[in-house]
A and B are shown apart, each in its own frame.
Chain A
């Protein structure tokens, strides 16, 4: 009821009308974003919304797809303060940043250094005489680069820097750094701060740079819940470092859900439009059919629809697992953390790579109109694609998963049994005491059974993990260092991780099916699940053939079955995307409108373009007319 109340408040408020950002310049988009953030904060105060859950709800309705420059204040600045600040520090800072007297951001990435944290160059040198830290950006490459909200909006940043005290470097620590003067918003002396310029997407966000020259902050500005620097400069080590994993795992798990949402949106647009668009003729003399009736169009879109459903379930699983393990951690049980950490890294990479390509495929499936901003697809794409590189670059993520897989493989080799998602490594033929032939494997994969297909994916993962492990061992023998061997096997390692993640997705999708009570829904989802599994087999046929997991004639059957499934899914395609339940305003797409009135609205939309404001563009008088020599 409270949610509805809030929803009504917003939907009836003229301040919250959504304008079409596509026609605005980048500065204008930033301004609109700040305006919305500001009005949102005011309304929250007005409506007395303070409960965190209500804030989330409020923001969700209010912002729709919105990128928000002050969001890092809530998503990074405050949580870091809560996690790493002492009680005294929290008391000092929290109130003013919740009330937005302080707008904070989180500055980690540097121009020359990203995923490899230890490489960061910014220094914080302790001066016991004044009891201050002196912050420096010693090189061009050490300039903080990319933090959201840093460019123009924030007046404080939590800065990650190498701590140096008593002449010794103690690694990365977090410091609260005031960067702009309260009241004038001007950069403080010693601070160079600005916007990093235009990007592919995220026009509304002022990703920024920050350079510090002998900039001094009080000792108390170092977040000291774990590590401490005493007034005399003595360094006190933190008890355990593992807990910082938590935020990363949380963010990555969250990104899996984001992938599902973005892909679902793209599918909704492409499938609805394909039902409205007519093209060519299947039979001479008949009217042009809906393009969704073309086999090639179905083959482009339905596997992506199945993927969207698969990722929805994976996203939900990641969230549940995170919360479950988080509780364990609260009780001091860290045993499942390594697997979750590895899984979150791999799944973030697997789902974001797949989704990135899939959004593009959806856009291209909409032909020329997909390229226009009216389709909404370019925006979905440009705002999603950085997911492949931020919060851990995808290849690096895959290699983290691989590290866990290799460790598990070694452990099984030395007689330990693995549990969780990697338990299949216990069954590797090479691990058995009695050498047994392939015959133990299910002789025939039943291509109509998701469970049997899950087994097939499991065998593929097991095989590729084993190949990578053996190649790695082989390189280790021949190379001067483990690191070199690791690099020379990294392509195999990424392949193994991908296969592992693919297996996990298939497994989670299949296991979801029996839990669905409604019979007709069960049937539809089973078809999608089969399509997801079989399409993957068809794409990676080489792996399944080479591993002897499937025969040539089975692959032929798989290809045939995929085409049958396309026909079976066709009547349900539009209801299946309707079920994602996106509002038109959330989709932001003329092509993906619920009512299907594409063309009339496309024409209306185009008329609003700034280029159409004057009948004759000024450049005609400036350049074209002089160009046209007199007739």
Chain B
């Protein structure tokens, strides 16, 4: 099978030929790659649409990412604004609307490296927190980019803990205005994207004070830059927060507000209102503020975090069939590094993880959409579970994607360290996800509180005869539990039912232990808060195990739905097995601890795991091809479809400004030095 036309598009002379080392990996296909791509895209029609959008975007040189690695922060930002501008123009021409799949695919094609990403986040927050009138007023302004918006929550001294934010919004009944103010240095808004150079309006989270009472965090639309000449408005100090590890293309900013007045209508008021006289009205629970965060998190995983690990896997695995190192047999040429067991051990668990997370986030997204309408109609019963899941899964997915991407980077040896591999930029970008949109530790603990509550509910319902049903994700807390794993031999561990149960057992035990420990401390006199702090390490471990269980269970359920695709089901089942077993081996202590697994059983798990590696090896390239990233969006000298790694690396390096722009350092410093030494000699 030749390479599809849409892949080879970089137009280099040597890239017309696919490298034989990667071509032979595609010769024998145990499953239909195109079908798997369709499944990942959610249907063949989506694949077709995505490819159409990609070809439009990639044919426009102004949307190219080609020179990104050579740019300064300033140039990156400018290029990102330019790309946004062009995509917006294309969208207008072709009638792609906001939130359309076309735009989503367009952003995917340029790896999301456009300015004004938070603009759409503002819209989402507006839609979930704004009244109908507010949406009618502001949404069109946003959609037509008449205003550029950002979402300003985090402050210099305050992050994930919302109640700690210091920015104030004091209602002045006399003028029917809010006075927005940053009382201290630490209250300076810090980190919001697009704020530094771009935004004209910010959705500012601030403590509402009306009629002298503090009412907690609310969201206010605050104009910050002139719509005429873009200069900051009176009372506003705004700027860029300086260079970061990654995200050069985004102008993360700071914002200080000095008694800035905005009309009463600028407070988002779907769930709370301030009447003209300053009366405060609640139309729903305060926790509704969390809704926009939940939305953000779910979209973040799907659109930002997951594609990064997918790309890292594509790059590392493709490079590993081109790169050769040492001989496996004395007479043979040097072997492909992917044939080294240690390389498989590094990369295949990442590949399995990324598939597991694909189905996990997909499922979470569906769950979210099915609950969204209920919540907007003020039915909040599902919110705790949704909130806990979005928190815990955001933490797990960003943690493991970050770990995995870094591992892929290191697995490419020295060349992985070159920016031209694409991997450093991916690492720098994904790792930020561990601390933004809620620090992962704090998120695990939010999940833990939910688990604690439900564990206690489960206990109570077991004591009384009335069987109350728990939310679906924690239903296993009331299910009968085995004390010992029944597996007899290695092959038994390839049963989804068996390892799902094993994960349920460990999660349930860790939850039980942490709750009991908490209660013991409280019974011995510690107050709840102290006792909670003293058990947080345990709670985090319990939450991690629970999330792991959810992801394993979810993967096995996704496989069940693929019964019409036996070949694909089989190949994904191996990844699912690998994912579950790798998790057991990395946490074997937890499984051995209460004797659920015996030492011999852990050895059997290891055997089953090691036997999976060479089987997955055969499909490895195909499984990464299935993600169907264009070479342009991968933007990696190591990861291109055709495998011409070294030619590309050499050619790209020569484009570096260090090679094209002369060497002023020689003229200024080296030459005088060399000459002065010669004079002396």
On A, residues with C-beta under 8 Å from B are: 22-23, 25-27, 30-31, 34-35, 37-39, 41-42, 45, 95-96, 99-101, 103, 109, 111-116, 119, 140-141, 143, 145-146, 151-153, 182, 185, 194-201, 206, 209, 277-284, 288, 293-297, 299-300, 356, 360, 363-364, 367-368, 370-374, 378, 381-382, 385-386, 388-390, 393-396, 399, 480-481, 483-484, 487-491, 494, 538, 540-548, 552, 555-556, 559, 563, 599-600, 602-603, 605-612, 615-620, 622-629, 631
Interchain residue pairs with CB less than 8 A apart (9):
A196-B418, A386-B417, A494-B342, A540-B589, A542-B587, A546-B599, A552-B592, A611-B77, A629-B145
Smallest Cβ distance from B308 to chain A, in angstroms?
Answer: 15
Q: Which of B161-202 contact A (CB under 8 A)?
A: 161, 163-164, 185-186, 188, 190-191, 196-198, 200
> Residues of B contacting A101 with CB < 8 Å?
674, 677-678, 681
In the complex, which of the residues B160, B325, B432, B441 contacts A371, with contact meaning CB atoms closer than 8 Å? B432
Smallest Cβ distance from B60 to chain A, in angstroms?
Answer: 15
Nearest A residue to B614 by beta-carbon distance?
A488
In the complex, which of the residues B157, B239, B345, B592 contacts A606, with contact meaning CB atoms closer than 8 Å? B239
In the complex, which of the residues B241, B345, B419, B602 contacts A198, with contact meaning CB atoms closer than 8 Å? B419
B659 at the interface (CB under 8 A from A): yes
B549 at the interface (CB under 8 A from A): no
Main secondary structure of the interface of A (DSSP, over half): helix
A555 touches B589 (CB 8 A): yes
Bound complex: CA A607 to CA B238 (Å): 10
B390 at the interface (CB under 8 A from A): no
> Residues of A contacting B442 with CB < 8 Å?
280
In the complex, which of the residues B88, B191, B254, B424 contacts A603, with contact meaning CB atoms closer than 8 Å? B254
Q: 5 tightest CB-CB pairs across the interface, nearest first?
A: A541-B589, A542-B588, A200-B424, A378-B245, A611-B240
Nearest B residue to A545 by beta-carbon distance?
B592
Q: Interface code B107-125, partner A: CB below 8 Å = 1, 0 otherwise?
A: 0000000000000000000
B595 touches A552 (CB 8 A): yes
> Residues of B contacting A278 with CB < 8 Å?
157, 164
A282 touches B674 (CB 8 A): no
B537 touches A100 (CB 8 A): no
Bound complex: CA A381 to CA B591 (Å): 34
B384 at the interface (CB under 8 A from A): no
B534 touches A373 (CB 8 A): no
Bound complex: CA A363 to CA B325 (Å): 33
Contact A114/B413 with A38-B670, A296-B537 known, Cβ cut-off 8 Å: yes
In the complex, which of the residues B159, B244, B527 contacts A372, with contact meaning CB atoms closer than 8 Å? B244
Nearest A residue to B198 by beta-carbon distance?
A624
> Residues of A contacting B527 with CB < 8 Å?
283
In the complex, which of the residues B186, B190, B197, B231 contacts A619, with contact meaning CB atoms closer than 8 Å? B197
> Residues of B contacting A393 with CB < 8 Å?
413
On B, residues with C-beta under 8 Å from A are: 69-70, 72-74, 77-78, 81-82, 84-85, 88, 144-148, 154, 156-161, 163-164, 185-186, 188, 190-191, 196-198, 200, 227, 229-232, 239-246, 251, 254, 323-330, 334, 339-343, 345-346, 406, 409-410, 413-420, 424, 427-428, 431-432, 434-436, 439-442, 445, 527, 529-530, 533-538, 540, 585, 587-595, 599, 602-603, 610, 646-647, 649-650, 652-659, 661, 663-666, 668-674, 676-678, 680-681
> Residues of A contacting B197 with CB < 8 Å?
611, 617, 619-620
B592 touches A378 (CB 8 A): no
> Beyond the given A373-B243, A483-B330, A487-B328, could you list 16 further A-B residue pairs with CB under 8 A, ordered by the A residue number?
A198-B418, A200-B419, A364-B435, A481-B330, A483-B329, A491-B342, A538-B589, A543-B589, A546-B588, A563-B534, A606-B241, A611-B240, A616-B231, A626-B85, A627-B84, A631-B146
Smallest Cβ distance from A469 to chain B, in angstroms?
Answer: 16
A609 touches B431 (CB 8 A): no
A109 touches B231 (CB 8 A): no
A609 touches B243 (CB 8 A): yes
> Residues of A contacting B88 with CB < 8 Å?
627
> Residues of A contacting B434 with CB < 8 Å?
364
Contact A629/B242 with A487-B328, A603-B185 known, Cβ cut-off 8 Å: no
Nearest A residue to B427 by beta-carbon distance?
A200
> Residues of B contacting A284 with CB < 8 Å?
529
In the complex, which of the residues A23, A197, A389, A631 contacts B420, with contact meaning CB atoms closer than 8 Å? A197
Bound complex: CA A370 to CA B246 (Å): 12
> Residues of B contacting A544 with CB < 8 Å?
589
Bound complex: CA A552 to CA B77 (Å): 55
> Residues of B contacting A603 with CB < 8 Å?
156, 185, 188, 254
Smallest Cβ distance from B665 to chain A, in angstroms?
Answer: 4
Nearest B residue to A365 by beta-carbon distance?
B441
Bound complex: CA A609 to CA B252 (Å): 12
Contact A197/B241 with A119-B334, A611-B197 known, Cβ cut-off 8 Å: no
Nearest A residue to B434 by beta-carbon distance?
A364
> Residues of A contacting B593 with CB < 8 Å?
541, 545, 552, 555-556
> Residues of A contacting B657 with CB < 8 Å?
26-27
A629 touches B156 (CB 8 A): no
Contact A372/B242 with A295-B533, A611-B251 known, Cβ cut-off 8 Å: yes
In the complex, which of the residues A151, A283, A371, A389 contacts B416, with contact meaning CB atoms closer than 8 Å? A389
B664 touches A374 (CB 8 A): no
Smallest Cβ distance from A29 to chain B, in angstroms?
Answer: 10
Nearest B residue to A388 by beta-carbon distance?
B410
Contact A31/B668 with A368-B191, A371-B435 known, Cβ cut-off 8 Å: yes
Smallest Cβ distance from B463 to chain A, in angstroms?
Answer: 26
A23 touches B161 (CB 8 A): no
A367 touches B530 (CB 8 A): no
Nearest B residue to A630 by beta-carbon distance?
B146
Q: In this complex, which of A196, A284, A602 has the most chain B Cβ atoms within 10 angstroms of its Cβ?
A: A196
> Residues of B contacting A119 with CB < 8 Å?
324-326, 334
A367 touches B245 (CB 8 A): no
Contact A491/B70 with A197-B653, A199-B418, A371-B432 known, Cβ cut-off 8 Å: no
